[in-house]
Chains A and B, each alone.
Chain A
């Protein structure tokens, strides 16, 4: 479904964030990306839907090269790929409903935005999406009135509005406490199994990776240093673990 080939990303200041990264994502997979902060997880995810322009390499989406797609066509690819963020990235002053509806913008004619118009169908969809993440009663609240966990659920509902084939989740639970983390990842898992949406999720904690991911890639300093199933992680030796997380890393949690 998604193939990344020899992806290299160099920031304008010369920082090499990704170095020759290649991997493949199969349809319906729940793929985890692990690594320290600064290892290139966020950059990788943002290169996939081209929020960042990779310096070298190719990205194939359903066998189509999207690395140099012009803006107009990129829009049709982006709307098939939902994204969930660590900081939720909601418009805090807008209502929950507007935030969720904005997930539909890839499908609506741009000029409608001037009149702030969404079709009745879209509004219906938005309520359904909120229903699925369990907060239909919050539709008319302002986004910043919600708790962190609720805001992330709005983020997922927004991604759902895109009718996505895949969801990129960039540390979706790093700003939340462990109980909420399980709840949020539970929603992603549900979407993965029930709707067959492919999930590509970067995570910090190995126990969460083991619980939710089928397959894992480990990044360190922009390179892939590990690729394997969750069973491999359980069997992983301390040396191997240090390879990913650095010399000072200590193993924590249920891993």
Chain B
């Protein structure tokens, strides 16, 4: 099917092999395999099977009813129907070009054209094909369109590889270049697209018809600024006490006096009966109160409310007007029946005093202040920027020295002899141990970690690193000096042996890990634990032998590429750490140090270290090697070479990467709050869940402004340095 322009003859019979085609028709790729194109045959087989399985599985997953999950028969029918359509089209083309157009090179209609026509046809008559091959029941229960498109693509792929096998078999392949697989790749992509369309749940009708749903919230998010400011409002509330029910002889709390300047309300009588709603239905109105009020703001609304003896306010319905406009004198007169039983007369004891409330809220006036939401958003934003800043700062401090370990051009020349490596390893261990002791001592003399956390941390870092490096150097020299006394070979073999023995310990851990991690999956933890020691021992022996064998192989040159080994380890760690999103780290950090900005900083720092170290090390790898060579020739040692030849060269890209990373960090930290990492995301998520879309809008605007500003600033800075 996928004829290229160079090898188009379709009608020349001797160049095709029906046998190979037939083989591939039965088992995809078999014809190619038999014809000698082994890899191609296997690739095709795997591709067809994978796509078939994937399609089946997808359709089954999306079946509308679980009992229709297995639809192999239905799917096969679709594939066959599509294949029949395609074969029909191909035959039509063949007849057309051969007998009508007399075009043996088949240039009039390319096979791509036929396939395109096939897919267009499938698109338009798809429903009919489905209706023909599927039962009405199947049709109503499985997602037919996905089956149709993937089935059509699968049919095309199947037929393509039949044609391909026929051609490869016919040409005997020897000395000829294999035809392109472009057709197969295009068809496979179509198939994957069809499945993806289904799996991602693309729903065009919904997208087109239901756009109005966002119409309510979009304006509030897009222009939330009214919610960014506080508004002032005056509220007057006056109360008249009413006693109800009114026992014999009671007089009630008495009417309020008329006040000269302040708003007032007064009612008569102040003692009466409650309205009653009998269980038989209807309503018996309570005592009618005449209410007069004065000194409110004229022309504005007042609300009449009622509060029962235990203070629950409500608006009495059906008892009289509850919303009134104040007249020009600032008062009103109205009547209201005492509302229905709020307090059961049987259970309540003593006088039941209710409150009649008259409430007036003045018009909201712009208050020249920021609203609570705005304040919260601003604080959150500041926190966000600081999280980004701190993570970048800690990231630089850790990543810069580490990046040298991940730079191939600096690490690959570092070679070590087993004598030296042995000393280095022992020295580092001793130095590190000593560093921890020093830290413990310092911590104790400073009054514990809680009393002086920063000091103890700094002393700890300095002590462990410094003593570790000192141990590395000193150990290497000492062991080299000591072992050369054993003669030319003695030192080599002794140190190799000891190194192998040292390596047995990590080997033991690996073996134990294998037992606990992998064996216990099958056997269960308790059973696996019985003889896990054996696996540890096996691991120890294996690793020790491997290390010794490796060193044995190096006995002639006596140079072990320690630099490259270290490079590989460091690079791998960075790649693994970097490949997990900071959001995931934030979830873990929130559990580790609790919700809040510190968790976000911690998570972002971890990710930043790995990313920056990789960027820095790539900057180091791309420097001009000339100055390195020159400084080597001068007799400079490694540290001097780094300071005088590497650092000046990497400074511009390092500054640029750092600023860029800061930019990224601020952007990332806006989201960290979603998982408890502090910053503006924390409050943003709350507002989203409370449907406070105006507050959401404020936060989104602030984030957008900050990120845009930062983007501009960072690109300006980067331009200056590159």
Contacts and interface: CB of A to CB of B under 8 A. Distances in A.
Interface string B633-665: 111110110111100110110000000000000
Contact of A116 (B626, B632, B643): B643
Interface string B616-640: 0000000010110111111111011
Interface in A162-213: 162, 168
Contacts of A155: 630
A79 B637 CA distance: 11
Contacts of A88: 626
A141 interface: no
A105 B632 CA distance: 10
Contact of B634 (A71, A93, A102): A102
B629 A105 contact: no
Nearest to B624: A92
A94 B624 CA distance: 13
Contacts of A162: 634-635
Contact of B629 (A51, A71, A93, A98): A51
B637 A51 contact: no
Interface in A99-132: 102-103, 105-108, 110-111, 113-114, 116
A87 interface: yes
Contact of A91 (B632, B640, B645): B645
A85 B626 contact: yes
A94 B642 CA distance: 13
Contacts of B642: 113
Contacts of B633: 49, 51, 78, 81-83, 168
A110 B639 contact: yes
Residue of A88, A103, A105, A155 contacting most chain B CB atoms (<10 Å): A105
Looking at chain B, what size class is its interface with the partner chain? Answer: 20 to 34
A254 B639 CA distance: 47
B629 A89 contact: yes
B627 A114 contact: no
A75 B635 contact: yes
Nearest to B652: A93
Contacts of B632: 51, 78
B422 to A, nearest CB: 16
B644 A98 contact: yes
A90 interface: yes
Nearest to A81: B633
Contact of B627 (A77, A81, A91): A91
A102 B626 contact: no
A76 interface: yes
Contacts of B631: 102, 105
Contacts of B626: 85, 87-90
Contact of B636 (A51, A106, A114): A106
Contacts of A77: 635
Nearest to B559: A53
Interface in B658-711: none
A90 B637 contact: no
A158 interface: yes
B649 A93 contact: yes
B644 A158 contact: no
Residue of B624, B630, B640, B645 contacting most chain A CB atoms (<10 Å): B630
Contacts of B645: 91, 102
Residue of A91, A93, A116 contacting most chain B CB atoms (<10 Å): A91
A89 B627 contact: yes
Given A89-B626, A93-B651, A94-B648, A79 B643 contact: no
A108 B631 CA distance: 13
Contacts of B634: 78-79, 82-83, 102-103, 105-106, 158, 162
A162 B632 CA distance: 12
B644 A91 contact: yes
Given A85-B629, A85-B630, A76 B635 contact: yes
Residue of B634, B639, B645 contacting most chain A CB atoms (<10 Å): B634
Nearest to B558: A68
Given A110-B639, A113-B639, A114-B639, A89 B630 contact: yes
A60 to B, nearest CB: 19
Nearest to A116: B643
B491 to A, nearest CB: 13
Interface residues of A, number: 38
A77 B633 CA distance: 10
Nearest to B625: A89
A61 to B, nearest CB: 13
A102 B635 contact: no
A88 B624 CA distance: 12
Contacts of A90: 626-627, 630
B260 to A, nearest CB: 84
Contacts of A75: 635-637
Interface string B184-200: 00000000000000000
B643 A78 contact: no
A112 to B, nearest CB: 9
Nearest to B628: A89
A114 B638 CA distance: 12
A81 B652 CA distance: 32
Contacts of B629: 51, 85, 89
A121 to B, nearest CB: 17
A113 B652 CA distance: 20
Contacts of B652: 93
A49 to B, nearest CB: 6
A75 B652 CA distance: 30
A105 B630 contact: no
Nearest to A108: B640
Contact of A83 (B630, B648, B649): B630
Interface string A38-77: 0000000000010100000000000000000011001111
B481 to A, nearest CB: 11
Contacts of A102: 630-631, 634, 636, 640, 644-645
Contacts of A158: 630, 634
A27 B644 CA distance: 32
Contacts of B630: 83, 85, 89-90, 102, 155, 158
A142 to B, nearest CB: 10
B300 to A, nearest CB: 74
Contacts of A89: 626-627, 629-630
A56 B209 CA distance: 81
B418 to A, nearest CB: 14
B621 to A, nearest CB: 17
A122 B648 CA distance: 21
B635 A113 contact: no
Contact of B644 (A51, A94, A111): A94
A121 B244 CA distance: 106
A143 B627 CA distance: 12
A82 B631 CA distance: 10
A91 to B, nearest CB: 5
B635 A79 contact: yes
A76 B636 CA distance: 10
Contacts of B480: 70
Residue of A74, A89, A98, A110 contacting most chain B CB atoms (<10 Å): A89
Given A91-B648, A91-B649, A116-B643, A78 B637 contact: no
A88 B649 CA distance: 15
6 contacts: A51-B629, A70-B480, A85-B629, A91-B627, A105-B637, A158-B630
Nearest first, the 8 A-B pairs at minimum CB distance are A106-B635, A89-B626, A79-B635, A105-B636, A78-B635, A89-B630, A83-B633, A113-B643
Given A51-B629, A85-B626, 12 more contacts: A71-B637, A74-B635, A78-B634, A85-B629, A91-B644, A94-B644, A98-B648, A102-B640, A105-B634, A105-B636, A108-B640, A113-B643
